[in-house]
Chain A
Amino acid sequence: VQLLESGGASIQAGGSLRLSCEASGFTFASYAINWVRQAPGRGLEWVAEISGTGSSTYYAGSVEGRFTISRDNFKKTVFLQMDSLRAEDTAVYYCAKSLTTEWLGGYFDYWGQGTLVTVSS
């Protein structure tokens, strides 16, 4: 199993950015994928989840209405569209695979290496 994030960058507050997470080594369409972020020197914060089919999505309150998670099962890729970025969105963003196909909102058994988003005010 491999997850490879890309798209991180330095950007001004108010701007937009799209992160990608390319997956391999498992039946991609069967598993929910999550984004989890970690601000410098801080703990982990769950950001969003998308179900295997893409029909269900969930967001943390801090990003709801500004971020959109989506997926392309043919390309085995999950996206995180981030709009109206704020300084407090500065973090390493990880994508993470759900442990099981049985339920949503679970645990994360594989993580990517992360991509850094820096938002300057």
Chain B
Amino acid sequence: EIVLTQSPATLSLSPGESATLSCRASQSVSSSLAWYQQKPGQAPSLLIYDSTTRAPGIPGRFSGDGSGTDFTLTITNLEPEDFAVYHCQQRGRWPLTFGGGTAVEMK
């Protein structure tokens, strides 16, 4: 199965700063990668799919990039509601797999 490795495990930032999250796949998944946001006690919500496409209603400060094995989620001008855990997920090959998550915490 394809293993997704997210880094860093935790990112400590202040509101207004930018966050850069990484997701690396053990094999190429082409552009078949999504990012989800999960807040404590809540289900995940879809942010980005197909590496770069924002889901409906997602603000422009969230952007995705990458293809093959290396992917990035960038959040510019962090808002207080952006502090959460972010998961990547691939649909390039069965079984579908998720990364271990990156927590963006407030400094």
Q: Is B17 an interface residue (CB 8 A)?
A: no
| A61 contact from B1, B36, B38, B91, Cβ within 8 A | B1
Q: A105 touching B89 by the CB < 8 A rule?
A: no
Q: Which of B44, B46, B96 has the most CB of A within 10 A?
A: B96
- The residue of chain B having its C-beta at the shortest distance from the C-beta of A92 within the complex is B43
Residues of chain A at interface, number, CB under 8 A: 22
Residues of chain B at interface, number, CB under 8 A: 21
| B101 contact from A43, A46, A49, Cβ within 8 A | A43
Given contacts A43-B100, A61-B1, contact A113 B94 (CB under 8 A): no
Main secondary structure of the interface of A (DSSP, over half): strand
Q: A94 touching B43 by the CB < 8 A rule?
A: yes
Q: Is B60 an interface residue (CB 8 A)?
A: no
Q: A111 touching B45 by the CB < 8 A rule?
A: yes
Q: How far is the CA of A43 from the CA of B99 in the complex (A)?
A: 7
Which of chain B's residues have a CB closer than 8 A to the CB of A46?
A: 89, 95-98
Give B residues with C-beta under 8 Å from A: 1, 34, 36, 38, 43-46, 49, 55, 87, 89, 91, 94-101
